[in-house]
Structure 1
Amino acid sequence: MAGIYIHVPFCKTRCIYCDFYTRTDMSSKQNYVAALGQEMVLRKEYLQKEKIETIYFGGGTPSQLSFNDFAYLFRILRGTFEIEENAEITMEANPDDLTNEYIETVLQKLPFNRLSIGIQSFDNKELEFLKRRHSAEAAMNVVRLCQSIGYNNISIDLMYGLPGQTMDIWKRNLSIATSLDVQHISSYHLIYEQGTRLYRLFKSGDVKAVDEDLSVDMFSVMIESLSTAGFEQYEISNFAKDSLYSKHNSSYWLGKKYLGLGPAAHSYDGRNRSWNVASTSKYIQGISEGKPYIETEILDTNTRYNDFILTGMRTKWGVNLIELEKSYGPELKDYALKNVKQYIDQGFVTHKANILSLTQKGIFISDGIMSDMMWVD
């Protein structure tokens, strides 16, 4: 089983924290959609005819595409790949795009069965600071509207650690999120990425990062609040009800193959990584000439071992030592056990039935644990 990720780089406006490859110029949208269909055909052998169990439209803002855009892409997908009957098909969307008309013409007529809605906050001042285009009330109404037409696998994104954010505001965000009865919540600490407007504001002193102790407390409160509301923390930043994990994102953490389509999209064939050029114009040109601009990284055993540790230890499934030894050899298995022993002794990691996994308190120092387990040349 494998997955397909489709990158849609277009956005109405650019959020101040975003460092993904996006663009606000929509003039190349139709040529880009046509190129996506061509890339599917050009790279159909990449996944070696494995059945497709997840399709994920991410961005950017996929909800900037129209019914006709999606209908064309689904037609090519079906004609090119063998797609599992009950495949998880996700669209990332911004609340302001999900109008009644868009829901009726796109979500109700196309085979999407999972929505990931980029809300980020239910506080209007925070939304204004982040340069989000929706209000808190509009976001809540959109979730309820999608539920009313039958969507029962909805994920929302939340951010914490924003400048000026208080614990009261964060608790209120969590309370509203859990009251909406969504099935999945992804929550990430705000990061000051170089090249973003937020980073420039931070470096100039116009915004100040939240206190580190408060960040840790917010993370702790999030885990407690979501657990009380029936969510399972199956990955450090991801929580699900009723085992409705993101199958697509889980495939990354579980080391499954995936094909990334579109500019800046990444792919993994089970051994090596590759990625498309981060330029819409070069992407379209390369595809039209039948020579996609793709870079490939050949992964040696130690690098693949590090990826295995980094992705596995972030999840509830942990690191399977039998699989580790089979894939990377007994020396690296012994290396992992030697370097994680202190954390097992201190109660930060469990070692049961050949599985290493973080305990609840281990999650709070996960970066250090994973760093110590990784191979350093």
Structure 2
Amino acid sequence: MAGIYLHIPFCKQACYYCDFHFSTSLKYKDELFEALIKEINLQKAYLNGETVETIYFGGGTPSLLTADEINKLIGTITEIHTVLSTAEITLEANPDDLDKVKLDALRQTDINRFSIGIQSFFDEDLMWMNRVHRGKEAEGAVKRAQDAGFENITVDLIYGYPLLTDAKWKQNVAKVFELQVPHVSAYSMTVEPQTALAAYIKKKVYPPMNEQQSAEQFIYLTDAMQQQGFEQYEISNFCKPGHYSRHNSNYWKGVKYLGIGPSAHSFNGETRQWNIANNAKYTQSLVKGTIPAETEVLSEADRLNEYIMTSLRTVWGLELDKLNTIAAGAESQLLIPAQQYLEKEWLLQKEHTLYLTQQGKLYADHIASELFF
């Protein structure tokens, strides 16, 4: 099984915290769309005949695509690949794009899951982030999608930024429960270099992030989600039973995937490939029939470290036996630095699997890096 990711690199405006590749100009959208179609065709051998079980439209803002454009992209994929009839097909969407007309049009596509970028239900927070939508739009978009028959919905929230008091965070979480969505992704605000947020903090226009605030809001979130019957199946992802993101779960499990579009990444188990993060150069290359990508052959250490980083974040944990299938003797080697975290009870070992404890999840990246080969 495999997945396909399509990067749609257009946004109405730039969120201050975002460091993904995108453009706020739609001037060359049609040309880039044709380049996406061409790349799908040129990349047909990458997955080596694997059946596709997930398709994910990310970005950028893929809800800027028309229903006809979405149909053409999905149709091109199904002409080239075997796609499961039960495939999960996700569209990332901004609340302001999901009006009744757009939702009615999307019902005529194979989209069966929405990922709605809400971030907060408070207008002052959304303006601070430079989001296009407002809180009432976010609530309305979820309700309209549900009324249109889309039940498989996930929403994004952000916590750990100065404007978000604990009281406001509790209200955001409560609103999600009220909307009865089956999946929630929640991320701590991170300050990425080269973003407007980083520049504002450097100039003291915005205050810096507070790690203690972030940790406390994360702990509140995990407790609240558990009480409402959500499973924390990955550090930042929570779902009702049976509503895992199949696409993202496959990333964490090391399943093959093909990335289409500028800046998109691909992985086939042995190599990693990434496209140029430049719309014009991407389009020009595809016009000439060339895929504008670089490829890296993963070493044993690379493969071990990727597995450590992704598996530890999940409810399925790090299977020690799997390390030895990548490199002989890796299990015993990893258990040496792991011992201190087992003693601190940041890691838990059950038979041949390591798991992060709730306390350990606060230090997930640090622990993983200490276990790297």
**Interval of TM-score (by shorter of Structure 1 and Structure 2):** over 0.9
**Structure 2 residue 3 is the aligned partner of structure 1 residue 3:** yes
Q: What's the offset of the Cα at 1:164?
A: 2.5
- Counterpart check, 1:99 vs 2:95: no
Correspondence 1:24-43 to 2 at 5 A: 24-43=24-43
1:369 corresponds to which residue?
Answer: 367
Q: Is the 8 A contact 2:71 2:110 kept in 1?
A: no
Q: What does residue 208 of structure 1 align with?
A: 207
- How many Å separate the matches in 2 of 1:76 and 1:83? 11
Q: CA deviation at 1:349?
A: 1.3
Asked if the contact 2:93–2:116 (Cα under 8 Å) also holds between the matched residues in 1, the reply is yes
Which amino acid in 2 is paired with 1:22?
F
Report the Cα offset of residue 368 of structure 1. 2.3
Aligned pairs for 1:70-89 within 5 A: 70-89=70-89
1:161–1:209 contact (8 Å) kept in structure 2: no
User: Residue 269 of structure 2 aligns with which residue?
Assistant: 270
Match of 1:334 in 2: 332
Label 1:210 to 1:284 Cα distance change in 2 as closer, same or farther (>3 A).
Answer: closer
Distance in 1 of aligned mates of 2:181 and 2:44: 35
Aligned with 2:358: secondary structure? coil
Matched, 1:135 2:134: yes
Same amino acid, percent of matched pairs: 40
SS of the counterpart of 2:258? strand
In structure 1, what is the equivalent of residue 197 of structure 2? 198
Partner amino acid, structure 2, of 1:48 = N
Report the alpha carbon displacement of residue 209 of structure 1 after superposing the two structures with TM: 2.1
Q: Distance in 2 between matches of 1:255 and 1:210?
A: 32
Structure 2 distance, partners of 1:266, 1:130, is 26
Report the Cα distance in structure 1 between the residues aligned to 2:105 and 2:357, rounded to whole angstroms.
Answer: 45
Name the counterpart of 2:349. 351
Give the aligned partner of residue 322 of structure 1.
321
Alpha-carbon distance between aligned partners in 2 of 1:154 and 1:165, rounded to the nearest angstrom: 24
Describe the superposition over 1:99-119 as per-residue Cα deviations: whole angstroms up to 9, x where unpaired. Answer: 11100112x110111100000
Hey, what does 1:174 align to over in structure 2? 173
2:364 alignment partner AA: S
Q: How far did residue 25 of structure 1 move?
A: 1.0
Q: 2:333 is matched by which residue type in structure 1?
A: Y
C-alpha distance in structure 2 between counterparts of 1:195 and 1:297, whole Å: 25
| Distance in structure 1 (CA, Å) of the matches to 2:307 and 2:281 | 32
Are the counterparts in 2 of residues 2 and 52 from structure 1 also a CA contact under 8 Å?
yes
SS at match of 2:154: strand
Task: Note the alpha carbon deviations across 1:205-230, whole angstroms, 9 max, x for none.
Answer: 11112432222111111111111111
Counterpart position of 2:108? 109
Partner Cα separation in structure 1 for residue 274 and residue 209 of structure 2: 34
Deviation at 1:192, TM superposition (A): 1.2
Instruction: Give the Cα–Cα distance (whole angstroms) in 1 for the partners of residues 272 and 171 of structure 2.
Output: 40
1:221 aligned to 2:220? yes
* Residues 240-276 of structure 1 deviation map (CA, whole Å, 9 limit, x = unaligned): 1113111111111100100000000000011111100
| Kept in 1: contact 2:161–2:210 (CA 8 A) | no
Q: Offset at 1:83?
A: 0.2
Which residue in the other structure is 1:57 paired with?
57
Matched, 1:159 2:158: yes
Conservation of the 8 A alpha-carbon contact between 1:335 and 1:373: no
TM-score of the superposition, structure 1-length normalised? 0.97
Deviating 4+ runs (over 6 angstroms) = none
**Which stretch of the first structure deviates more once superposed, 347-356 or 52-61?**
347-356
Say if 1:319 and 1:355, in contact at 8 Å, map to a contact too: yes
- CA deviation string 1:163-191 (max 9, x = no partner): 23211111111111111110111111111
Identify unmatched segments of 5+ residues in structure 2. Answer: none
In 2, Cα distance between the equivalents of 1:104 and 1:68?
A: 12
For residues 130-167 of structure 1, the C-alpha deviation after alignment (integer angstroms, 9 at most, x for no partner) is 11111111111110111112212100000011123211
The aligned amino acid for 2:351 is A
Q: Say if 2:161 and 2:214, in contact at 8 Å, map to a contact too.
A: no
Give ranges in structure 1 of 5+ residues lacking alignment. Answer: none
d(CA) in 1 for partners of 2:161, 2:366:
23
Q: Which residue of 2 aligns with 1:258?
A: 257
Give the letter aligned to residue 211 of structure 2.
E
Amino acid at match of 1:146: A
Contact kept in structure 1, 2:317 and 2:353, CA below 8 Å: yes
1:232 positional shift = 0.7
1:183 and 2:192 are equivalent in the alignment: no
SS at match of 1:286: helix
Give me the whole-angstrom Cα distance separating, in 2, the residues matched to 1:253 and 1:362: 18
CA distance in 2, matches of 1:260, 1:124: 34
